[in-house]
Structure 1
Amino acid sequence: MNNLTNYHSHCDFCDGHAPMELFVREAVKEGFSSYGISSHAPFPVQNGCNMQKEKMTAYLEEFRRLKRLYSSEIDLYIGLEIDFLDDSFNPSIDYFQSLPLDYRIGSVHYIVASDGTPVDTDGSPERFRNYVDTYFDGDVKEVVHRFYRSSFRMIELGGFDFLGHLDKIGLNASLYCPGLDRESWYKKWVTDYLEEVASRNLLVEVNTKAWETRGRFYPNHDYFELMNDLGIRVVVNSDAHYPEKINAGRIEALCALAQAGYTNVWQFCKGNWVDVPIED
């Protein structure tokens, strides 16, 4: 085993930009010890990111084919990144629990506006600004509140193996209102959430997707020391949508975790989560 692992990646079954096999080939070429595919799960609102439900069988079959083909070269796993919307749609519902997956990622992308419209908080800063102005009359603080209320409810309901890109709202919110994510009320949301995560002994993803473009991890590295103090276990993932990005930001994340006091990260080994020392 080594620290070359990734369990958050999106192939062309959802909004990824290459077939599943090209991600696996890249992982083999780079010497990964294990790798996981985690397309965006089917979602009740039509969009350009989530996999269509009717493709699920083909998704699972393609993974099984690749696992047989590359079994001597890499340890492969299949998962889904599952959105929280409300109590009727989240990682814990029967449909997602019944699927033959190795793991499930619990993520919040959407919040529900006062008129019942699911609003995506992810995506480009321009789209985020338009949504905040259209559905929340420019009240970005209310958007953040709803994001974290959904996040708390998601961990109450459970049904996932690790949390995806915790604190991701901080990027778009701070681009909408510079400095917002450094304000005390925002930090309190994150701190309270991390304390609840720790109390439930949940595994948290350190997501490196935005490191190269924004110099930011999810959660922000400012919280790594607190996370370590709270005993929160972490897994480092790149949230790759291109094969060449499967290792982006990993070294920087591992260094930042080590500086914050972490000595181990978590990964899959023969179907089980194990802790592995951070390599020098």
Structure 2
Amino acid sequence: MIDLHEIIASTRDYNFHSHTQFCDGRETMAAMVQQAISCGMKHYGFSPHSPIPLPSPCNMSALSVDEYVAEFNRLKELYDGRINLYLSMEIDFLGDKWGASDPYFDTVPLDYRLSSVHFISSPDGTEVDVDGRPGQFKGKMETYFDNDIRYVVDSFYERTLQMIEKGGFHMLGHFDKIGFNASSFSPGIEDEPWYRRHIDDVIDAVRDTDIIVEINTKAYPAPVGASAEEVAGYVSRLFPSPNVIRRLVSAGIPLAVNSDAHYSSRITAGREEALAIIDGK
């Protein structure tokens, strides 16, 4: 395993969260490396959505892991001396069913482990991906959760706390990601005291570990090349939100700015804005 703390303390020319052709990314690993070099990155990590024990169009297949590792090794050798490349996965936490501490991940030569919550259990036990676009989320709210947004948010943060307690990973991915869809479904929800208590609970839990919290810039700003209509309806934000970032800084929790890039053009999107908030500007 690499020392993420040392790298993040020594430079800001890094990105440890990205997706390519091996999951739901839109470009090849080679294209991402080339762009990262052009952007002046010194450290770049690949983190495809890990295999999980249930069907998902966004997650990589366990059958493609060997191919992923082989392509990584090829690129690492090819670009040796120009950029430091790292093998990782964004590992979904599914409660007792799956997570970064599962023995499976000891069989893959990962340099670090990034762990995130995308799925929560519906009342009938179905694992539901609550990420994605607001329109899709609205449909899932009706189909799986009887439009009970409190249940969804509570479940998301309960699972996040379980993930932190169980451990086995080094970096926590976009821990308030549910706020995006929850705010679209119920505007103002993130300002409600009960929601803010969830944020406080996560901060308290992380404070007692050596986990690095990711500042995810994927949704900031609107994608380059987006149409006027798309830009008009685009919600530009960071995960966690600026106020939460400031609370993390005050708590002394180590932070890493990652783009969660699915396109090479997004590798540095929102980076300066996130770093400015960390710096108190």
Q: What's the TM-score, normalizing by structure 1? A: 0.91
Find out whether 1:159 has 2:168 as its counterpart: yes
Deviation, 1:221, is: 1.0
Mapping 1:55-74, distance limit 5 Å: 55-74=64-83
CA distance in 2, matches of 1:27, 1:211: 18
CA distance in 1, matches of 2:193, 2:106: 37
For structure 2, the 5+ residue unaligned runs are 1-9, 223-234
After superposition, the CA RMSD in angstroms is 1.1
Counterpart of 1:224 (choices 245, 268, 272) is 245
CA distance in 2, matches of 1:199, 1:226: 15
- The one-letter code of the counterpart of 2:155 is R
Identity value in percent: 44
Indicate the residue corresponding to 2:259 in structure 1. Answer: 238
CA distance in 2, matches of 1:87, 1:46: 17
Indicate the residue corresponding to 1:179 in structure 2. Answer: 188
CA distance in 2, matches of 1:98, 1:144: 33
CA distance in 2, matches of 1:135, 1:113: 6
CA distance in 1, matches of 2:249, 2:48: 29
CA distance in 1, matches of 2:236, 2:120: 25
Indicate the residue corresponding to 2:273 in structure 1. Answer: 252
Find out whether 1:34 has 2:43 as its counterpart: yes
- The one-letter code of the counterpart of 2:212 is L
Mapping 1:259-278, distance limit 5 Å: 259=280
Indicate the residue corresponding to 1:121 in structure 2. Answer: 130
- The one-letter code of the counterpart of 2:20 is C
Deviation, 1:166, is: 0.9
- The C-alpha deviation readout for 1:49-76, integer Å capped at 9, x for no partner, is 1001000000000000000000110011
Find out whether 1:52 has 2:66 as its counterpart: no
User: Do the aligned partners of 1:91 and 1:97 also contact (CA within 8 Å) in 2?
Assistant: no
For residue 134 of structure 1, give the secondary structure of its aligned residue in structure 2.
helix
CA distance in 2, matches of 1:27, 1:100: 22
- The one-letter code of the counterpart of 2:120 is I
User: Do the aligned partners of 1:2 and 1:32 also contact (CA within 8 Å) in 2?
Assistant: no
For residue 40 of structure 2, give the secondary structure of its aligned residue in structure 1.
coil
Deviation, 1:195, is: 1.1
CA distance in 2, matches of 1:210, 1:183: 23
- The answer to which structure has the higher strand fraction is 1
Q: How many residues align?
A: 260
- The C-alpha deviation readout for 1:217-263, integer Å capped at 9, x for no partner, is 11111112221221100010000000111110101100011117xxx
CA distance in 2, matches of 1:149, 1:65: 40
- The C-alpha deviation readout for 1:6-51, integer Å capped at 9, x for no partner, is 1100000100001110000101111111111110001122121100
User: Do the aligned partners of 2:23 and 2:49 also contact (CA within 8 Å) in 1?
Assistant: yes
User: Do the aligned partners of 1:97 and 1:159 also contact (CA within 8 Å) in 2?
Assistant: no
Q: What's the TM-score, normalizing by structure 2? A: 0.90
Find out whether 1:82 has 2:103 as its counterpart: no
- The one-letter code of the counterpart of 1:4 is D
Indicate the residue corresponding to 1:271 in structure 2. Answer: none
CA distance in 2, matches of 1:224, 1:154: 20
